[in-house]
Chain A
Amino acid sequence: MYDFNYHKPGSIDEAIQLFTGAEDGVYLAGGHTLLPSMKQRLASPTDVIDLAGIGGLSGIEDVDAVLEIGALTAHDEVATSSVVQSEIPALAELASLIGDAQVRNRGTIGGSVSNSDPAADYPAGVLGLGAEIVTNKRSIAADDFFTAMFETALEEGELLTKIKFPKPEAAAYVKFPNPASRYATVGVFIARTGSGVRVAITGAAPSVFRSTDMEAALNGEFSVEALEGITLDAGEMNSDLHATAEYRAHLCTVMAKRAVRKLL
């Protein structure tokens, strides 16, 4: 890791100010994506702005039809929260499948979602539930948030502060992990909501996406059979050492069926 200036601001305003004043600043939440890339010298920020000193960025609140989860809430906290387990159990389940135990003790929802790793789990939950991403200056709908591989709608220096998850009627997440890294080779999040079924898929393509074909089929009839014959375009899928595009496309359907089965 190269040397850098370390800051630990006490407020969001101060954090933004530090970011603006830095040559190449970066926010540090749990650090479980940032620090590995800094150690590999793939990232070399001049200034690391640790958000841990800012109050109010962590925690889970049950606010009517919405669960609000602060950006610095660790994966394990979401996985084991009784509120999340009762209101959106699929989200708790998703969080329990991220990385490994030590990673879940440190990694945060804000860090994961801001990073938009194509193989991360949280983006499937955020998009699948149609969550709202709240920043220091605005609120962004999940459908507009994940723009490309490792890219989001966040502007330079904009800070994700919390995520509002509308409570679905029911939801399920099924993951096929990469056997080496334990990231998602394919992860399918299906939510039944007041405005219809949402199907979000992570790991399979350069960025998390919704399968409109699967949503249409499931809106027609919410059954495993409804997904029969739906095969995603392998041309849009990632391919790597562990899974070709064709296999990933196949897994999307299998994982989607399994998610549906959990909801029947």
Chain B
Amino acid sequence: MSISVQLNVNGKSVTLDCPSNTTLVDLLRERLELTGTHVGCDTTQCGACTVHLNGRAVKSCTILAAQCEGAEVTTIEGLGDTDNLHPMQEAFRECHGLQCGFCTPGMIMSAVDLVHREPAINEQVIREGLEGNICRCTGYHNIVLAVESAAKKMRN
């Protein structure tokens, strides 16, 4: 079955037809060529596909495109670009919070939502708050530092 879906992605209105079984991540990657959002598993565990849906972090592999009718979606590409980095993107670079970069977009999107929703950011809150994102490279040490650092900047 083909459906029509209208949504707003990174500030741009998008209307397209797609099969009903299209997931949000497929729509982003395959239709809109926003390949910064990655797929690292097929069981809703790894978090590499994390984007913001109406301002909240979600796993875009486990949402149908159809469920996003009228929604606002922000991906890593919409968070900030080279000339205008989001403090979280900047902090990941400054703290060496990434190595291979594959989990990074999802990790950053989760971290931004975490800082937005948690009133007090500390190591434990960060570690528990990022349990939905797997990184195989960094051992999370520098990711924790990056989120701590970005949180300070985001609060200022």
Contacts and interface: CB of A to CB of B under 8 A. Distances in A.
Given A100-B131, A101-B57, A102-B57, A40 B42 contact: yes
Nearest to A6: B20
Given A5-B20, A32-B44, A40-B42, A101 B62 contact: no
Contacts of B1: 3-6
B132 A99 contact: yes
A143 B20 CA distance: 38
Given A99-B132, A100-B132, A35 B57 contact: no
Q: How large is the interface on A (under 10, 10 to 19, 20 to 34, 35 or more residues)?
A: 20 to 34
B20 A106 contact: no
Contacts of B43: 36, 40
Nearest to B62: A35
A101 B131 CA distance: 8
A210 interface: no
Contacts of A36: 42-44, 62
B62 A105 contact: no
Given A48-B20, A100-B47, A102-B50, A6 B64 contact: yes
B110 interface: yes
A157 interface: no
A101 B42 contact: no
A31 B132 contact: no
Interface string A154-184: 0000000000000000000000000001100
A254 B85 CA distance: 48
Contacts of A181: 45
Contacts of B57: 101-102, 105
Most buried by A among B20, B42, B50: B20
A103 interface: yes
A4 B2 CA distance: 9
B3 interface: yes
Nearest to B51: A102
A1 B130 CA distance: 27
Interface in A24-82: 28, 31-32, 35-36, 38-40, 48, 50, 52, 76, 80
Interface in B57-89: 57-59, 61-64, 66-67, 69
A80 B3 CA distance: 34
Interface string B1-12: 101000000000
Contacts of A250: none
Contacts of B62: 31-32, 35-36, 39, 106
A185 B44 CA distance: 19
B70 to A, nearest CB: 10
B3 A103 contact: no
B132 A102 contact: yes
9 contacts: A4-B1, A31-B64, A35-B63, A39-B42, A40-B43, A101-B110, A101-B114, A101-B130, A106-B58
Given A3-B21, A99-B132, 18 more contacts: A3-B20, A4-B21, A5-B1, A8-B66, A31-B67, A36-B62, A38-B21, A39-B42, A39-B62, A40-B42, A50-B67, A100-B47, A101-B113, A101-B114, A101-B130, A102-B50, A105-B56, A105-B57
